[in-house]
Structure 1
Amino acid sequence: MGRVDTIILDADRRIGGPYTLAAALLEHLVPPALERRPDLVAAHDIEIRAAAPRMRDAVPARRRSLADDLPRAQRVLVPGARRSLRIANGLAEFVRDHLTGAGALALIVTNLGEADHTDGEFVAVLRRRLGPGLLRIEDGPSAPGTGPLPADFDRYRDEGFHHAMAESGLERLRGLTYEDDPGGWQHLLQRVAAALEAIEREDEARELYDRARRLSTDPKHRATVAYATAMILVRHHDPARRDPEQALAWINEAITITSLLPDPRERAFHLGFDLNGKALVEVRRGRHDAAMDLVQQAIDLAEAHLPGEHPIHRLVLHANRAQLLAAAGRTDQALADYTRAVEADPGYPDYYLDRGNLLHRLGRAEEALADYEAVMRLSPPFPEAYYNRSELRFAEGDLEGARADLDHTLELDPEFAPAYVNRSGMAGAMGDYELARKDVERGLALAPRDPHLLCVLGQVEQAAGRHPEAQAAYDQALELDPDLVAAWASRAELAYEHGDNGAALADLTRALKLEETAELLFNRSVVYRAAGRPDKARQDLLKAAQLAPGDEDVGRALAEV
C-alpha cells in the first residue's frame, strides 16, 4: 500500500452551515485536481459549487439552467429535499476518482455529531461507496461551538438546504418579532415553513402559518399562507393526513385575495400560481377536467400579462399541463408541452425525465433513452434516470445492462424501493432465488405493502417449496392490487402444482381479462389439457399463435391437440 495522507477536519455546522465538512475537504482536494485533472473538476461543477461556495471562482459553472440568470424572485422552482443526496453522490464520485490517481486518504472528522444534515448524508455516502483502501474515515473528538448558526438564507433556499433553513430560520424567528420588521418576518416565516414542509415536518409548518394569520393582514402574504396550507393538505407525506376538501377551502381563499390585486402583472403571476395549486387540489379530488381548465387559465394569464418575465413560472405551467394531457390520453399535446418546457430551460433535468417516461410509455425507446441520458449529463447522479433506463434495457432484452443500472440505482439510493422490485423480479426469473429473497426483504422493509414485492416473495417461497407462505404472499398482493397480472398468473401456477385445476383456470382467466398475452394463453391451455378439456386448450393455442406466430412451444402444443 502506498503513502496515505491524513487530514483532520471539523464538521460543526456552526462554522459554515451546510457542507461545512465537504467544503473543507474540497478545498483540500480540488486545487491539485485542477492541475492534474481539470476535466474531473468540470464534470462535478454543480456539486462542488453547491458545497463549497468559496471555490466558485476556481470552478466555473459548466452546466447551467435558466434560473442562474434570473432575479431570485423569478426562481420559483426550489430544489426538493432529495437533491442533497444527488449532490453527495456526485461529490463522492469526485473524491473517488481523484483519490484513485492521487493516493489514499485518512480523514479524521471532529464534531461529526454536530454536522448539518448535508454533511451527515455526505459521510454516509462516502462510507458506503468508497472502500477504506481509498478513504478511511474516523470519528474524532467532539467539542462543539456555542455561537449562533450561520444564516445564509438565500443560499439555503436556492440550493434546497431545507434542514439548515428550518433550523437556522427557527433560531432567527425566535429573536425576531412581527413588529420589528413585518416584511422581513413574513418573508423568513414563509421560507422556514416551506423548508419544514420539504423535510416532512408539516405540523410545525402549519403552526407557523397559523401564527402568520394571527399577526399579518398583508394580502399577498395571507394569500401565500393560504396557498401553502392547501398544499400541505394535498401533499402531506402521510396520505392518511391529506384532506382535499379542506385544501379546496384554503386555495379558494388564496385565489379570492390574488384576484383582487390591483397591479395586472402582479395579479397574473400570483393568481396564476394559485390557480395552478388549485389544479393539484382538483386532481386529488378526481376532477381532471377542472384541473386542466385551471392550468389553462394560468397559462393565459402569463401569456397576456407576463411577456418577457417569469419564464420558469410559464414552463412549470406547460409541464403541469403536459402531465394532465398525458393522463387524459392526449399524448401528442402532452409531448408538445414537455418539449416546450425542455426547450425553455434545456439545462434543467427534471422535464427530460418526465418526457422520457411518456416516450417510453408510447414505445419510442430511442427517444426515451436520449432523454434519460440527458438527465445523467445535466444533473448530479439522479437515481430515477438509471432506474428508468434499466426498464428500457430490460424491454430490449439487455438483461446485463438492466441489472447494471438497477445496481447503480441502489448504490446511489439504497432506499429506492422500486429498484428492489425490479431487481428481485429479474433475479427470480433467472432462478437466483437467494438474491431475489434478499432484495424482496430489503424492499419490503421500505414498502411493506408493495404488491409487486409481495408477488416476487410468493415466487421465492414457491421455489423454496414453502407453498402456504407463497399462497399467503400472492393473496396479500392481490388484495392490495387486484389488477396485478403477475400475481394472478403466479397463484395459478401454484394451484396447478397442487392439482387444483379449477383454481388455476380461474386465476389465469382473470389474468387474461386484464392482459391477453401468448404466454398466459399457453399456460391456460396446459391447464385445460390437464383438466381434460382439449377443445378449450386448442382455442387458447390458436389465439396464442396469432399473438406470437413464431413461438415454437405454441406450435408443438398445437400439433399435439
Structure 2
Amino acid sequence: MNTHLWRSGPHGSGDGPVEVTVGCHRRLRGPYTGAGSLVRALVPGVYERRPELVRAHAIEILSTAPELKDRIGAAPETLTSLAVPEERTRIYAAARTRRLAHGLVEFLHSYTNLRGSGTLSLCFTDVDEADHTDQEFLAILLRRTHGMPISVTVGSRGGDLPDELTSALARYATIATPAGDASATAASRDQGELLDTYIASDGTCDDPDALAAYEAADAGLRARLHDERAAVLLREGDWSLRLGAVPYHLERGTDPAGAGGEALHEAVYYAAGLGLWHAVFDYGTRARAVIDPEQAERYWDFSGKMSSALALLGRTREAEELYLEVRARYALPMAQMFTGYALAMLYTRMHPPELRDHQLAKSYLSNTITLASLLPEAEQRSFHSVFQRNGMALVEMHLGNLPEALRLVDTGLKRLDAELPADRHRLHRSVLVHNRGRVLAALGRLKDALADLTTVIALDPNYPDYYFDRAELLHKLGEDTAALADYDTAISLSPPFWEVHFNRADLLASMGDAEGAIADLRRVVELEPAELDARVNLIGLLLETGQAKAVEPLLAEGLRLAPDEARLLQVRGQLAWEAGSADSARHDFDLALAGDPDCVPALAGRAALAFDSGDVETALRDLTRAVELRPNDPDLRYNRGYVHQAAERWRAAVDDYTLALDLPGADRAELLRQRARCFGELGDREAERADLDAARSVTTSAMSAGAA
C-alpha cells in the first residue's frame, strides 16, 4: 500500500478520474518501469492518429518501452545502436537519461494538445521502489507540466526519494490522504494462496502476511515457483520484463548462478548500451551475489560494468577500488587490459581535478598496449592495440602533446584500414576519425578538422553530437549559416538537450539575432533551470533589449536555486540601483563580491555607487581591481579615467583614456573629448586641440556611415 501520496496539476485536490495508473517498482521492468508502462498505454492510440508525432519521439519511446518497436518501427539507427556488443566502444553519459525524460514530457505535451480539451490524469505508485530513471522522469514531469492540463498523482510506500524528486514534490504537488488498504485479511487466505500472491506480484507485494508466507515456505518450493513464474513471463510477457521480473525470479530460482546470471548478463548489457548506469550498478551488484568468483570471466565482466557505472555517476573513488579488486583477483590478460584502460581514463579525465595524474594514466596505458600486442588472435590484437593507443592519444592531449596525439590516432586509423575487413569495427573507426578532428581543431587546423567531421557525419549520419561539434567549428571558421543548419539538424536527431540550444544562442547573438538567442536561452532554462550560465546570459540579453520586466522571475528563480550566485546578486543590485535604491544595490554588490571577489560587474557597480557618494578612493580601488581582471575592457578604463579626472589626477586620467583608445569597442569620440579636457588642465594646448579635432572627425565619419 502507498502510505504517502502527492497530487499536482488541475486536479490537485483529487477530483476527476485517473486515466492511467502505473506501478513503478523496479522489480517489474527495471529502468523506466513506470514511464514505459505509461508509454505502452498511450502510444498505440496516438500512433493510429498521428504516426509522425510518435516517430518524432521514437528514441525516447523505444528506450522506455522497447517492445513497441514491432508497432512503430525502429528509431533512427546510428553506428552505436547497430554495433554488436563486442564492437560497442562508445558509452553514453549519465545525463542521457535526462534527454530521454525531457523527450517523454514533450510527447505528453503533444498528446494533451492532440486531445483538444480536458485534463490528462496520471498516477504513479511505488515511486520509492522505482529505478533512478523513473524518479528522474517524475521530477522533470512535475516541473515541466506545472500549469498544464496534466494531473500527476505520486504514491510511495514511505521510503527515501532522491533530492530532485523530493524538491519537485514539495514545490509542485500537495500532500493527499491515501485511500484505505482494501486488501484481503489474512484470515480469508491460506498460506498457499498468500505464497502464490507474493510470487505473482514479482516480489512487489507489500502485504506482510504474503511476505511472511513466502519467507516461511520451503526453500525448494520457493525456487521452483520462481522458475515457473519466470517461464510464464518469458513465454507470454513483454521484452522489458527481462529487465525486472525475469532476472528477479531466476536469481532466486533453482539455478541462480546459471539462469540467474544469464538473465542479469542480458539486462546489464542492455542497460549499459542505453546509458542506464544506476540500473547497471544494481544488476552488477546482484550478479556478484549469485556468481562464484571462480567463474572468472563472468565475475570480472560484471565487476567491470559496475565500476564503469560508478565512474560515470561521479563515484570515481569507488570505481577505482573495484577496478583494483579485479586486477588483484584475476591475472587474465583481458581483465588486466580492461581495468588498466579504465584506470587510465579515471586518472586522465574522470577523477576530480585534484586526483588526476596524467603520467600515471600513461603508465597504465603502456601496460595495456603491451598486453594488446600479445593477444593471440589477429583481429583482436589489431583492434585492441589501436583502442589502447587511442586512449594514450587522449592522455597526450591532456598533457599538451598534440602532435603525438595526432600521430597515435592517425596511425590507428591506418592500421585498422590495413588489417581489418571494412565491415568490422565501423563504430570505432568513426570514433577515431572524430577524435582526429578534435586534435586537429586543438592544433588550429580548423579546415582539416572540418573535413574529418564531415567524413564522420557521412559514416554516421544520425548521430547528433557530430553535427553539434561541426557547428562549433563552422562558427569558428565564420560559416555561420552552415553552423546554424548543423545545430538545427542536431536538434532534430535527438531528444532535447540543453547544450545545443546554449551554443546556438551564442551563434544567433553573434549574428545579431537577439530574439532568437533569447528564445534558445529560454529553452535551456526550461530544460535545466540550474544551468546558471544560460540564465545569466538570458538575463543579460533581456536587459540589453529593454525587457527588464521579464528579468524579475528569472532572477528570483535563479536566486532560489543558487542564493549565493554572485552574477545574479550583481544583477539584482543593478536593478535596485536603476530603481533608485542605492543602499539595496550596495548590499547586493557586497554580497556578490563576498561570494566572488573577482565579479567584475559588481566591482564596477560598487565603484559607481562610491563615486556618486563622493568616495573616490573606494571607487578607484574597485575599478583598479576590475581593470586588472579585464585589462582589455575599454569601458572600465574609461570609467577609471573619469574618476581620476574628477579627482584632478589629470595624468592618470590621460593614461587610462590613451590605453582605452586602442581597445576594440572603444567609444573613441568620447575618449578623445575627455582626454582633451585633461590635456587642457595640464596646459598642453596642442594636444588638446588635436584630440578635439580627432573627436569631431570620428563623429563626422560615424554620422556619414549612419546616413549611408
Q: TM-score when scaled to structure 2?
A: 0.69
Q: Is the 8 A contact 1:489 1:511 kept in 2?
A: no
Residue 140 of structure 2 is aligned with which of 125, 136, 141? Answer: 125
- Alpha-carbon shift at residue 104 of structure 1 (Å): 2.2
Q: Is the 8 A contact 2:640 2:656 kept in 1?
A: no
- The answer on 1:58 being equivalent to 2:58 is no
Match of 2:280 in 1: 165
Q: Who wins on radius of gyration, i.e. which is larger?
A: 2
Distance 1:401 1:313 in 2: 37
Bigger mean CA deviation after superposition, 324-333 or 22-31: 324-333
Match of 2:556 in 1: 438
- The answer on 1:28 being equivalent to 2:41 is yes
Residues 435 and 526 (structure 1 numbering): CA distance in 2 closer, same or farther, change over 3 Å? Answer: farther
Structure 2 counterpart SS, 1:369? helix
- Alpha-carbon shift at residue 340 of structure 1 (Å): 2.2
Structure 2 counterpart SS, 1:56? helix
Residue 441 of structure 2 is aligned with which of 317, 326, 331? Answer: 326
> Could you say what the CA RMSD is over the residues aligned between the two structures, in angstroms?
3.5
- The answer on 1:82 being equivalent to 2:122 is no
Residue 500 of structure 2 is aligned with which of 364, 385, 390? Answer: 385
Identity, % of aligned positions? 34
- Alpha-carbon shift at residue 549 of structure 1 (Å): 9.7
Structure 2 counterpart SS, 1:414? coil
Superposed, which structure 2 residues align to 1:146-545 within 5 Å?
Answer: 149=248, 151=264, 152-180=267-295, 182-236=296-350, 238-308=352-422, 309-427=424-542, 429=544, 431=548, 434-435=552-553, 437-438=555-556, 441=559, 444=562, 465=582, 466-467=585-586, 470=589, 473-474=592-593, 477=596, 479=598, 493=608, 496-497=611-612, 498-500=615-617, 502-503=620-621, 506-507=624-625, 510=628, 513=631, 515=632, 519=635, 523=639, 526-527=642-643, 529-532=645-648, 540=657, 544=661
Distance 1:304 1:492 in 2: 66
Structure 1 counterpart SS, 2:124? strand
Residues 137 and 540 (structure 1 numbering): CA distance in 2 closer, same or farther, change over 3 Å? Answer: same
Q: Is the 8 A contact 1:541 1:557 kept in 2?
A: no
Map Cα deviations across residues 380-402 of structure 1 (whole Å, 9 max, x no partner): 00111111111222233333322
Distance 1:358 1:451 in 2: 32
- Alpha-carbon shift at residue 300 of structure 1 (Å): 3.3
- Alpha-carbon shift at residue 428 of structure 1 (Å): 5.4
Structure 1 stretches lacking a partner, 5+ long: none
Match of 2:174 in 1: none
Q: Is the 8 A contact 2:657 2:671 kept in 1?
A: no
Distance 1:427 1:240 in 2: 38
Distance 1:153 1:68 in 2: 16
Aligned length: 551
Map Cα deviations across residues 464-516 of structure 1 (whole Å, 9 max, x no partner): 5343652563586465xxxx876776676566554346446645654664x36
Distance 1:487 1:327 in 2: 34
Map Cα deviations across residues 187-239 of structure 1 (whole Å, 9 max, x no partner): 32222221221112223322322222123222122111111012122233532
Structure 2 stretches lacking a partner, 5+ long: 1-9, 158-200, 206-244, 249-262, 678-691, 693-708
Bigger mean CA deviation after superposition, 374-383 or 457-466: 457-466
Q: Is the 8 A contact 1:508 1:520 kept in 2?
A: yes
Distance 1:58 1:65 in 2: 20
- The answer on 1:99 being equivalent to 2:218 is no
Distance 2:442 2:570 in 1: 27
1:131 aligned partner, one-letter code: H
- Alpha-carbon shift at residue 138 of structure 1 (Å): 1.2
Residues 547 and 227 (structure 1 numbering): CA distance in 2 closer, same or farther, change over 3 Å? Answer: closer
Residues 338 and 236 (structure 1 numbering): CA distance in 2 closer, same or farther, change over 3 Å? Answer: same
Q: Is the 8 A contact 2:83 2:427 kept in 1?
A: no
Q: Is the 8 A contact 1:279 1:292 kept in 2?
A: yes
Structure 1 counterpart SS, 2:616? coil
- Alpha-carbon shift at residue 162 of structure 1 (Å): 0.8
Bigger mean CA deviation after superposition, 422-431 or 53-62: 422-431
Q: Is the 8 A contact 1:19 1:116 kept in 2?
A: yes
Bigger mean CA deviation after superposition, 300-309 or 540-549: 540-549
Residue 68 of structure 1 is aligned with which of 81, 90, 96? Answer: 81
Bigger mean CA deviation after superposition, 282-291 or 490-499: 490-499
Structure 1 counterpart SS, 2:70? coil
Distance 1:461 1:306 in 2: 67
Distance 2:606 2:412 in 1: 49
Distance 2:400 2:557 in 1: 35
Q: TM-score when scaled to structure 1?
A: 0.86
Distance 2:367 2:425 in 1: 24
